[in-house]
Amino acid sequence: MYIEDIPERPTQAQLRLLRAHLPYSLPVLRRLQVAAGAFDGINSAGTVGSGTSSYAHILFAYDSDDLPSDVDGDHVPFAAAFLDLHKTPETAAWIYASDQDHALPPVVAEDLYAADNDRPEGWVVDRGAELVAAWSPERRARCRRLVLALLRRTRAIAHAVAPVLAAQLPARFGIPSNAVAFVKNVKANVHDGIRYVLQHPGPAEEDADPSAVTLSYYDAYDKWLFRFEDVPVLSQPEDTEYATGLSGKDGQGQPSLVWDSVRTREDVALVISRTAIPRTEETLLSVPSVALREKSTTPGEEGTLQAWAFVGVDGSLWTLHAEPAYRGRGVAKTLAARLFRQYCGVFDTTVDDSEGSNDCSEKGDGWCAADVSASNRQSQGVCKRLGAKRAWSTAWIVVTYDSLGEDE
């Protein structure tokens, strides 16, 4: 096995390799593209370089004794990760393995959700076994070996930087910042099939590594994929207002909301108050957003935000929300469509594609995504109305380092 460890920003060869594995590599590819500067200058804060830090690592593990001579090809199985422990306790790692490609056989989404609805209350969604059911023992063992190698390298990096990070970072979300926290575990996003094989090693004769990974946290989502050309045009770039269809306070007319972005500390405080997902003010201001706010009638004052959506650091739809008064009127659908159409093309600015597939700066490679809780029927409905299809299941996990076994 060969492990490549690149600090802070990915190489062009790494980006091209991941691009060759679209759409399965999409979360890690997007996270690397953001690290390479996809959001520089276009985020709400207008900042540059916020997609990475001096603590970031781009990790690739190849099923080869040496770095393959043609890393743009797909002939050598590999796993890839973006790691930035500076983001702890937000998601610090995104992981992809080439073995996960084509992992999900065709299913009828409605039938799958109907089966979910029949489950008892409190049932934990677990699609991992389904995702890897057709994998050979060799494929499972190889995938585990490659991903475990990345997680063990992550553990080594954590031990090396923990004292410095603990001294520099303030407490976040009520969690004290100390060296012990950094060397205990890591929060990562993975394909749910990978999560499953990490927790379920094969028989000794098939899988030489017996390490069964322990998770202190697990949350399942479905990955919904959009094609740029399928996303409807629901607002024009030049539009400055959005007609809500609601009557004004005097019962007359149809008040409009103003198109804007999430850009002030007051805006961010409102966003944070409406979501249970822990994200800092710094993170939310470092990613692009679209928003609708009340149309102020007082000079010098701004209206309050009423709806918003972000492009996350992994390129997915983040924190789509409309205040109660504006729900059921297509606001969320319009927000998401505008967000995708406005920002889908920014990722191609980071890829030097010599074969000329970056011929459309508006849509880039054409892929957009959303992670939706398997129990969130409302958000699933928004995705369907935007032309998306459920592709596979993904999971946020907190990996306990002590369960990873010894380094090879």
Residue 307: give its domain's CATH number: 3.40.630.30
Residues 56 and 75 in one domain: yes
- pTM value? 0.90
Residues 19 and 121 in one domain: yes
What pLDDT is recorded for position 106?
46
What pLDDT is recorded for position 60?
97
Q: How far is the C-alpha of 346 from the C-alpha of 368, rounded, in Å?
A: 12
- Tell me the torsion sign for CA atoms 257, 259, 262, 265: negative
Domain of 214, in residue numbers: 2-222+395-404
Tokens 């409309």 map to which residue? 322
Which residue, 365, 375, 372, is CA-closest to 394? 372
Is-contact 232 337, C-beta < 8 A?
yes
Residues 341 and 233 in one domain: yes
Beta-carbon contacts of 286 under 8 Å, excluding residues fewer than 6 positions away, are 39, 43, 44, 45, 47, 50, 51, 313
Q: Both ends of the chain: CA-CA distance in Å?
A: 10
Residues 257 and 174 in one domain: no
Residues 318 and 209 in one domain: no
Q: How many independent structural domains does the chain possess?
A: 2
Beta-carbon contacts of 266 under 8 Å, excluding residues fewer than 6 positions away, are none
Residues 6 and 135 in one domain: yes
What pLDDT is recorded for position 356?
44
Which residue, 205, 254, 220, is CA-closest to 129? 220
What pLDDT is recorded for position 172?
62
- Tell me the torsion sign for CA atoms 380, 383, 387, 390: negative
Q: In this structure, which long-range contacts are made by residues 180-185, counting pairs with CB atoms below 8 Å and at least 24 apart in sequence?
A: 181/88, 181/89, 182/85, 182/88, 182/158, 183/155, 183/158, 183/159, 183/401, 184/400, 184/401, 185/216, 185/398, 185/399, 185/400, 185/401
What pLDDT is recorded for position 116?
56
Q: Three-state SS for 75?
A: coil
What pLDDT is recorded for position 164?
87
Which residue, 12, 34, 98, 10, is CA-closest to 316? 34
Q: What is the DSSP string of 169-183?
A: PPPBTTB---HHHHT
Q: How far is the C-alpha of 377 from the C-alpha of 364, rounded, in Å?
A: 29
From first to last of its 408 residues, the chain has per-residue pLDDT tens of: 999 999 999 999 999 999 999 999 999 999 999 999 999 989 888 889 989 999 999 999 999 988 887 665 557 999 999 999 988 888 999 999 999 998 554 444 444 445 555 555 555 567 898 889 899 999 999 999 999 999 999 999 999 998 888 887 766 656 666 667 778 999 999 999 999 999 999 998 888 899 899 999 988 898 999 999 999 999 998 999 998 877 555 445 557 899 999 999 999 999 999 998 888 898 999 999 999 999 887 777 888 999 999 999 999 999 999 999 998 888 999 999 999 999 999 998 777 765 544 445 678 899 999 999 877 888 888 898 898 988 889 999 999 999 999 886
Tokens 């306990």 map to which residue? 400
Residues 267 and 194 in one domain: no
Residues 301 and 347 in one domain: yes
What pLDDT is recorded for position 109?
45
Residues 275 and 194 in one domain: no
